[in-house]
A = this chain, B = another copy of it.
Amino acid sequence: MYKGPEVLSFWRLALLSSIRDNGPDLTSRQMYILLTIYMSQPPHTVRGLAAQMQVTKPVITRALDSMEKLGFLKRAPDESDKRSILIQRTVKGAVFLRDFADTIEDPALTAE
């Protein structure tokens, strides 16, 4: 585990790599949602994410809109409760996260 100044150093270099990477720059909330979809067990719903993050549901809806437009995830109807939707992964989203992990893990990849 990183401790003290180390964690800030890591965070700083990771940010720099990601800033220079010229990919779509997601907000913290968008990034957290994306990571959750890919790293945590389904099902994922708007209300579930909103509760977890302690934000309102429109925040989730809008973040999903943005990332669905990018092709990083997709919505699917929940047949057992038609008020709900299920948020699902896409290949493009998986690739994006894989690249992101590589980028922040090894800052040299985007060094000048």
Contact = CB atoms under 8 A, between A and B. Distances in A.
Q: Please tell me the size bucket of the interface on A.
A: 35 or more
Q: Tell me the interface secondary structure of chain A in the complex.
A: helix
A55 interface: yes
A55 B16 CA distance: 11
Interface stretch (A72-80, A82-90, A97-105): A97-105
A2 to B, nearest CB: 7
B8 A97 contact: yes
A28 interface: yes
A105 B28 contact: no
A3 B52 CA distance: 26
A92 interface: no
Closest CB pairs A-B (n = 7): A12-B35, A15-B32, A7-B105, A20-B54, A8-B101, A15-B28, A19-B53
